[in-house]
Amino acid sequence: PTSYLELIVAFKSFLSQRRDSVMKAKLRYQVGLEKIQFAEANVSVMRKELVDMQPILDKSTKDTAVLMEEIQSKLPGVEKTRAEVQADVAIADASKMECEAQKASVEADLAEAVPALEEALKALDTIKASEINEVKAMANPPGGVKLVCEGVCVMLGIKPNRIPDPGDPSKRIMDYWGPSVKMLSDSTFIQQLKKFDKDNLDPKIMKVVAPKREALATAEKQLQETMASLNEKLSRLKEVEDVSLEGQIDLTGKKLVRAATLIDSLGGEKIRWKEFSAQLAIQYTKLTGDALISAGIVAYLGPFTSVYRAQAVTAWVARCKTLAIPCSDLPSLSGTLGDPVQIRKWNIDGLPTDMFSIDNGIVVFNARRWPLMIDPQGQANKWIRNMENDNGLNVIKLTDGDYLRTLENSVQFGRPVLLENIGEELDPSLEPLLLKQTFKQGGTLFIRLGDANIEYAETFRFYITTKLRNPHYLPEVSVKVTLLNFMITPQGLEDQLLGIVVAQERPDLEDQKNKLIVQSAKNKALLKDIEDKTLQILSSSEGNILEDESAINTMNQGKQVADQIKSEQVIAEATELEIDTVRQGYRPVAYASQVLFFCIDQLANIEPVYQYSLSWFINLFILSIQQSERSAELTERLHVLDTHFTFSLYRNICRSLLEKDKLMFSFLLTVSIMQGRNEIDAAEWYFFLTGGVALSDIPPPNPCADWFSEKQWNELVRLANMPCYLGLVDEFKTYHVEWKGIYDSPTGHMLPFPGSFATATPFRRLLGIRVLRPDLVVVAAQQFVVVTMGESFVKPPPFDLALCYGDSSVQSPLVFILSPGSDPISSVLKFADATKQKIDTISLGQGQGPIAERMISLAMETGSWVVLQNCHLAPSWMPTLERITEGIKVDATHPTFRLWCTTYPSPVFPPSVLQNGVKMTNEPPQGLRANLMGSYLLDPISEPGLLYALCFFHALVRERRQFGPLGWNIQYEFNESDLRISTRQLAMFVDENDVIPWGAIRYAQQTINDYPTYMYIVHFTQTWTYESFR
């Protein structure tokens, strides 16, 4: 219901607002066009007037010579009369000004006295006897009551009593209260006041009002006499002066010049204004539907993705047309409610340039409720910070101790506030602010926050952001805010990455591009201001515009400035076009990179700890550009950038993934890249994920029911309905022997498909393998990655703790993602010992939070390391961990300080810590080779030949776990500690003897008593396991 009410209110507001603005704009254009048409029409008329007046002027010139003598005889009298009249006019003007000033002064004084008198007369009718009795009964009346009664006594001539001064009994004062009580006791008191002769007051009273009335009458009479004298003298002047024909011709000529100037100034705008006026007329008729759809977007579609919004708007447009509601074919928020100049400024402040983000920006400033922006990549946060920076923005978090005080000050003084990094719940104390529960007190707007009433400034704005990717807000929270999905779009990210890669490769171009964007925005704003000013002059001009020389000159000056700006804008746009042409050469890299970002962004759907910030991605992108091999050839350079960044991203992501997810990431990465190149059809990808949807309940008979199951046959029939596998059913019957060979072969994924499908692409082969040999899909997917991307993308890099430490900082925690059997603490302790770094560890749990806080605080001062183990076991303390990490300041923290965390995949671990930290896993690698290499990388190896057998044995017993009960009856956790202790035992045999006791070692190997592998035996609980081990 709240959203529906929001829809109704928004629709009403938007429709009224847009109708008013569109109609005003249309009228302004129409008035401007009318003025231009009037000037054009008057040009021919004024030219005809000039032609008609010229013969009269010639005749007048000839008559002048004849009448010269008569004029000469009358001239002295005329000149004398003119001089006299002009002198009298000057005197009369001065007298007139003096009279008018005196009149104004008198009227001002009367304006103060007369209304008060009239109000007093009216008030007499409202006085009740009970009220008079109440006043009489006052023992100690207020000062105001005594003052009024004293005034009435003075007006009625009642004398005061002399009484002792309460403050100084030795003195006497005049008291009117005693006489006032007697006066009020008189039953005829009200009648006395009503019959009071206000026009014949006591002389002492009349000295204020009467003189002013007399002065007014005198001034008015004097003004009338002066004006009569002035009019008489002006009449005499008119009689002696003749109308000058030359003046008329001169005035007409000036009007003609002004008309030409007006036409020249606005002639170029005539066509454009006509088009705009016509467009506004059409837009006005469609405003009902457009405003309704815009209100629907604001009320309902804020939390949804760009794809869903587009689908909803398309459905709404169709519904409007069905109901005959006029609307645009492709309505948009930016077209209905947006201001192009304002939107360009938002883009400069950091708002992405895609329409989805622009629509979000429009919703922020047009919704009634404060915006809550779902902003995992920090785009909205960055935009708000830049946009409101000059307005004194205050940034707060709910974890701040004084956030409520900061909020109160901001509300009172009208400063914007950004509340960032909220969770799925809001502080109840914010409810009055979210609901805008303001009230007036003494004519001032207030709001209650906490226990105090705070003055509410109209300029206050409130923004809220969260880094949660998919938050679940309860209805009672959702109805108080405007939820907005600010997750970055592919187009918006591509534009950002394009700017970054060009800034790295061609910094001169990107710098010039940015300057042109800012200059273009300023130019467009200036042009709009000039146009608004011109239209304002035209619409406010009364009568003949050609008689207003000042208006014509102002518009002409504006035209000159506008022409100069337009010429500069043309040059700037041409330059920007040239720059864009060069920039577009780097777009393939930006496009491919944004595909990679949205690929890793999906990993959070697998495990909540697989979260990566956009800033981390961009920093890695820049680092890859700087470290990649240079090339003068653009095509070769683009290839290098693409391949280098792709592999760099793969390596960095792999170190934070669990072993079970690394191959899947390689596969997703490959598929995403191919989808970006349009090499994989969406329907084919959907079939691979789901097996398709049955289009018919009765599939054709299974020709190979003896070895091919019905489930597989149904999937094969669905696959045959896809364009890439048309005819598969018939060919399966024809080549059933070959297909059975693939079905029976242990390496069926390597065998070619028979018939026309022998040339199927690698991914389409995967579809066939999925149907025919689902048990080989994982192996086939790995082979698919190798064929498409190369073998390096299925061989994750070995764990390197030193490299991970190098990527960290005091503000970037190191986070170990745990799995059963993994224990990274020994590696961390050994690394700390190697780097001579003091380290403290604490296992989180009940009551350990305050201890951990003190430990971190001390480490930040001394530069030691702190390891927080098992963070997933302290969910209530995780907000505190987030507050601590966000509060770390580089300049106030020892540079060698590091915070280490270990946690199992858990949704309670703070997203901000995950996104800003260095995530790692230290699981046993999969595969004999990877296990062997991992063992060799644990420590520097001085005798690799001596340790080879032991490391190989360690890899073998661990790898057998991959085969379930076939490997070991129980999933024994052979770990790094077993290898280390076994190595020490082997070292003991070698180091404690001058000659290596090969015989003893062989004997120990046979008896399995003291041989180093004894450490593995202690895991066994079954006899048959022991025998398998031997």
Q: Which parts of 462-522 are beta strand (E)? A: 462-466, 482-485
Give tens-digit pLDDT for 888-906: 988 899 999 999 999 999 9
Residue with the larger pLDDT of the pair 815 and 582:
815
Q: What is the rounded average pLDDT of the residues 203-219?
A: 55
CA distance 8 to 370: 18
Whether residue 909 sits in one domain with residue 990: no
Domain presence at residue 994: yes
Whether residue 935 sits in one domain with residue 888: no
Mean pLDDT is lowest, of 13-27, 113-127, 132-146, for: 113-127
**Contact indicator for 453, 470 with CB cutoff of 8 Å:** no
Give tens-digit pLDDT for 234-254: 555 444 444 444 555 555 555
Whether residue 849 sits in one domain with residue 951: no
Domain presence at residue 843: yes
Angle, vertex CA 912, rays to CA 907 and CA 916, nearest 5: 120
pLDDT reported for residue 883:
87
Domain presence at residue 181: yes
SS3 content of the chain, % helix, strand, coil (to 5): 65, 5, 25
Position 204 pLDDT exceeds 90? no
Position 457 pLDDT exceeds 90? yes
Whether residue 956 sits in one domain with residue 889: no
Structure tokens at 85: 């009249």
Position 911 pLDDT exceeds 90? no
Q: What is the rounded average pLDDT of the residues 996-1010?
A: 56
Range of 23-32, 508-517, 649-658, 1008-1017 with top mean pLDDT: 649-658
Q: Residue 575: which of 519, 516, 522 has the closest Cα?
A: 516
Give tens-digit pLDDT for 957-976: 888 877 777 777 776 777 77
**Contact indicator for 747, 775 with CB cutoff of 8 Å:** no
Position 99 pLDDT exceeds 80? no
DSSP letter (8 states) at residue 959: H
Position 321 pLDDT exceeds 80? yes
Number of structural domains the chain divides into: 4
Domain presence at residue 141: yes
> Could you tell me the residue range of the domain that residue 41 belongs to?
29-265
Domain presence at residue 285: no
Position 75 pLDDT exceeds 60? no
What Rg value do the Cα atoms of the chain yield, rounded? 46
Residues 6+ apart with CB under 8 A from 484: 302, 303, 360, 363, 364, 371, 372, 373, 374, 380
Mean pLDDT is lowest, of 232-241, 792-801, 988-997, for: 232-241
- Give 509's pLDDT tier (boundaries 50, 70, 90): confident
Domain end position, chosen among 435, 460, 488:
488
Domain end position, chosen among 488, 504, 526:
488
Domain presence at residue 358: yes
pLDDT reported for residue 657:
93
Whether residue 879 sits in one domain with residue 932: no
Q: What is the rounded average pLDDT of the residues 978-988?
A: 77
Whether residue 226 sits in one domain with residue 136: yes
Whether residue 1002 sits in one domain with residue 941: yes
Cross-strand partners of 919: 815
CA distance 344 to 365: 15
- Give 267's pLDDT tier (boundaries 50, 70, 90): low
Position 841 pLDDT exceeds 70? yes
pLDDT reported for residue 198:
67
Angle, vertex CA 1019, rays to CA 1017 and CA 1024, nearest 5: 70
Position 283 pLDDT exceeds 60? yes
Whether residue 338 sits in one domain with residue 253: no
Give percent above pLDDT 70 in the chain: 77
Position 553 pLDDT exceeds 70? no
Cross-strand partners of 918: 814
Q: What is the rounded average pLDDT of the residues 263-278?
A: 68
Give tens-digit pLDDT for 366-395: 999 999 999 998 899 999 999 999 999 999
pLDDT reported for residue 269:
67
Q: What is the CATH number of the domain that holds 934?
A: 1.10.8.720
Angle, vertex CA 488, rays to CA 485 and CA 493, nearest 5: 165
Amino acid occupying residue 553: N
**Contact indicator for 517, 353 with CB cutoff of 8 Å:** no
pLDDT reported for residue 240:
44
Residue with the larger pLDDT of the pair 436 and 967:
436
CA distance 569 to 254: 34
Give tens-digit pLDDT for 340-376: 889 989 998 999 988 999 999 999 999 999 999 999 9
Parallel, antiparallel or unpaired: strands 161-164 and 172-175: antiparallel
DSSP codes of every residue in 112-175: HHHHHHHHHHHHHTT--HHHHHHHHT-SS--HHHHHHHHHHHHHHTPPPEEEE-SS-TTSEEEE
pLDDT reported for residue 412:
93
Whether residue 369 sits in one domain with residue 338: yes
Amino acid occupying residue 429: S
Domain presence at residue 612: no
Q: What is the CATH number of the domain that holds 463?
A: 3.40.50.300
DSSP codes of every residue in 247-313: HHHHHHHHHHHHHHHHHHHHHHHHHHHHHHHHHHHHHHHTHHHHHHHHHHHHHHSTTS-HHHHHHHH
pLDDT reported for residue 566:
74
Whether residue 934 sits in one domain with residue 915: no
Mean pLDDT is lowest, of 204-208, 416-420, 986-990, for: 204-208
**Contact indicator for 413, 457 with CB cutoff of 8 Å:** yes
CA distance 972 to 534: 85
- Give the predicted TM-score (pTM) of the model: 0.69
Mean pLDDT of the chain: 81
Whether residue 457 sits in one domain with residue 379: yes
Domain presence at residue 732: no
pLDDT reported for residue 594:
96
Give tens-digit pLDDT for 460-503: 999 999 988 889 999 889 999 999 999 999 999 999 999 899 88
The HSE-up count of residue 666 (CA atoms within 13 Å, CB side) is 28
Whether residue 932 sits in one domain with residue 915: no
Mean pLDDT is lowest, of 308-317, 495-504, 524-533, 725-734, for: 524-533
Domain end position, chosen among 469, 488, 507:
488
